[in-house]
Amino acid sequence: MRGTYRSSQLVAVSVQSSALCESQSLLLRRITSKENCINKTMTSIERQKSYIEGELTKVILANNDEFLNCKLIQCEATTSPQLDGFMAIIFKLNIVVQCQKTLQEKCYDLIVKLMKGSHDFRMRSKSFIQFGNEVYIYGRVIPTFGEFLANRNTLICWEKWIPKVYYHFYGSVPELSLIPESVLVLENISPIGFRNPTSRLELWGEYHALSYAMKLLNEEKLKELVDGIVPLCYQNEDNEESIYDVMHKVGLTRLFGYLSRRPEVNTGNLREELEALRVKYFNCPTKLLDRLRDDDPPYSVIHHGDYNRNNVLFRYDNSEKPLEMRMIDFQEVRYGSPAFDLSFFLYMNTTTATREQSWMELLRYYHTTLFRGLMEILQCDKLDERLKPFSFELFHRHFSRFAIYGVLISAHFLPWMDCSEEECELLSNLFVQNMRSPEFFDICLTAGVRCLMKKFSVLSNMLVKWDICDFSLSSSGTKSPIQQGWDGIVTNNSRNILPTIYAAG
């Protein structure tokens, strides 16, 4: 696969300034007046569709060897609001080609992912950083991991981590706009049986193991990859309220609103710790999140960052047993704790009963996969000195410090997963128009109400469910997913009684 990715310098310049560089401006001024007139009369969707069916399809055919000696017969790009994310617009692209030798026709189902919104929206939502990093992961990081694994005796199939990539680009696309654009073309794996997941941890262990193994065997190469990731900070440098402040204030409002209605839960050390959290971080939750971004050698990895249930797809057999899985949507990628991925996934994609009964089993299962991958890549046994820092006990200690991230992300995100289509559309529109508006904040707090009420209609006195997740107290530290997790963040003395947020399910 031949494609293009940008350097971190390009993204940094793009984010810091709305002005195009002189060479880009000169190039854009040379676009014919006819093209400009067409663009002015086209809607954004029409312009994107025209680009996809025209120039982009030509590039896809020219940059993938499987299309050699093939003639384009037909291409069609379609979109639907149900496919879109808050910051991306998704097209389905159907391409039909004919082999010039055999005259046989073949159909390809592809997904095209583009950025949404104006320059102002993309700046406010940090889209330039997020989409630039995503293209970099698909185009540079994962292929480099693949090269690193070449000729090593391992069962890790890195090609199966992600859908096939047909094209990746970040930079100037005059056919779309005068500002930086991101273009990502992937195989559409839904028609071949992939859909949203139940629960599976092998991929996380394998993916994270690559960062550790490369750190041990080729640290310079890992540093090179990490340096290419533009830091995605939660706080804005100008101290202006960021997108993450908006979202996590919703989560904290849910948390404290719930506790104010449940005085029997909010007692003792828990009450003191949560009050300290409220005082210190309620108006600036991103300060806590950026503290969680701190490096904790040797555990930092290039993580995915956004393991909600829509960003990992599974293929099942007839008995509903997961056979394969693929990761998509690397917009929240960072270099940091693997607990970001693991806690996010466990809180967002497993039931309360599963976590209560099998929490340590799930963590050990992940760790076993991670450790096995390291032994295979390093070609060593479990007693190798290099593996001592990655023992389960030390890993669990690290995880306990950072797993509060899953608590914070779930507090605002979980109710959205039960939104009606109307609520999702309203949220998406308000997110683009003005994510700082009181209207957006209010709909965030009430989103998912109908589904949650239906879900718990058989239970009495459970209306509190519709704007907060279940909380429980950890039991003397033995199964707490965030045992000692706020040490040094909320208080220095209280360690054993900490809140655990649970998904409704």
- CA–CA separation, 59 and 173 (whole Å): 13
pLDDT recorded at residue 398: 92
As separate numbers, helices (DSSP H) first and strands (DSSP E) second, the chain gives 20, 12
pLDDT confidence bin for 195, thresholds 50/70/90? low
CB 154 within 8 A of CB 373: yes
Examine the pLDDT at 100 and tell me if it is beyond 80: yes
Nearest Cα residue to 305 out of 360, 233, 361, 242 = 233
- Is the pLDDT confidence value at 385 over 90? yes
CA distance 61 to 416: 38
Looking at residue 265, its pLDDT comes to 63
Least confident of 82-86, 119-123, 274-278: 82-86
Judged against a pLDDT cut of 80, whether residue 303 lies above it is answered with yes
- How far is the CA of 172 from the CAs of 32, 168, 279, 292, 410, in angstroms? 16, 13, 44, 34, 36
Amino acid at 391: S
Checking if the pLDDT of 321 tops 80, the result is no
Q: What is the DSSP letter of 471?
A: E
Please tell me whether residue 487 adopts helix, strand or coil conformation: strand
Q: Give pLDDT, residue 41.
A: 56
Examine the pLDDT at 454 and tell me if it is beyond 70. Answer: no
| pLDDT at site 81 | 66
DSSP result, 19-70? SPPHHHHHHHHTS-HHHHHHHHHS-HHHHHHHHIIIIIHHHHHHT-GGGTTE
pLDDT score of 274: 75
For 160, other C-beta atoms within 10 Å of its C-beta total 13
Percent over 90 (pLDDT), the chain: 44
pLDDT of residue 39: 45
Domains of the chain, earliest start first: 43-187 (3.30.200), 229-465 (no CATH)
Flag whether pLDDT at 302 surpasses 90.
Answer: yes
In the predicted model, what is the mean pLDDT of the chain? 78
Q: What is the pLDDT of residue 449?
A: 54
User: Two tokens at 76?
Assistant: 């069609």
* Mean pLDDT value of segment 300-317: 83
Dihedral pair phi/psi, residue 129, rounded to 5°: -70, -50
At 253 the pLDDT is 85
Give how far Cα 301 sits from Cα of 142, 233, 342, Å: 13, 16, 12
Using CA atoms, how far apart are residues 333 and 343, in angstroms rounded to an integer?
A: 15
pLDDT band at 380 (very low <50, low <70, confident <90, very high): very high
pLDDT given for residue 490 in this prediction:
33
The whole-angstrom separation of Cα 342 and Cα 101 is 49
Is residue 466 pLDDT above 80, yes or no? no
Q: 3-12, 75-84, 107-116, 388-397 — which is least confidently predicted? A: 3-12
pLDDT for residue 296 = 83
Cβ(309)–Cβ(257) below 8 Å: no
Of these ranges, 8-17, 34-43, 243-252, 257-266, the one predicted with the greatest mean pLDDT is 243-252
The C-alpha torsion from 453 through 459 and 461 to 464, rounded to 10°, is -40
Phi/psi at 188 (5° precision): -85, 105
pLDDT given at position 350: 76
pLDDT band at 497 (very low <50, low <70, confident <90, very high): very low
Q: Are 261 and 462 in contact (CB under 8 A)?
A: no
CA 121 to centroid of chain Cα atoms: 19
Q: pLDDT-based confidence at 27, cuts 50/70/90?
A: very low
What local confidence, expressed as pLDDT, does residue 178 receive? 95
pLDDT, average across residues 16-37: 37
pLDDT for the residue numbered 17 = 34
Residue 236 — left, alpha, or beta (φ > 0 → left; ψ -120 to 50 → alpha)? beta
DSSP-H helix ranges across 350-403:
352-378, 392-402
d(CA 79, CA 305): 26
CA separation for the pair 30, 107 (Å, rounded): 36
Residue recorded with tokens 């629960």: 199
Whole-prediction pTM: 0.79
| The predicted structure's pLDDT at residue 86 | 79
Least confident of 244-248, 264-268, 445-449, 480-484: 480-484
Antiparallel, parallel or unpaired: β 470-473 and 322-327: unpaired
Tens digits of residue pLDDT in 35-79: 444 444 577 899 999 999 999 999 999 999 999 999 999 999 999
Q: Which residues pair with 491 in a beta bridge?
A: 487
Q: Cα–Cα–Cα angle for 416, 422, 424, nearest 5°? A: 30
The neighbouring-strand residues paired with 433 are none
> Which of 341, 327, 141 is CA-nearest to residue 226?
141
Q: What is the mean pLDDT of residues 394-416?
A: 85
Rounded CA-CA distance 147/224 in Å is 14
Q: Which of 347, 334, 332 is nearest to 410 (CA)?
A: 347
Q: Tell which wins on pLDDT, 345 or 372.
A: 372
Picking from 257-261, 267-271, 338-342, 357-361, which range would have the lowest pLDDT averaged per residue? 267-271
94-108, 149-163, 343-357, range with the lowest pLDDT:
343-357
Of the listed ranges 186-195, 375-384, 442-451, 495-504, the one predicted with least confidence: 495-504
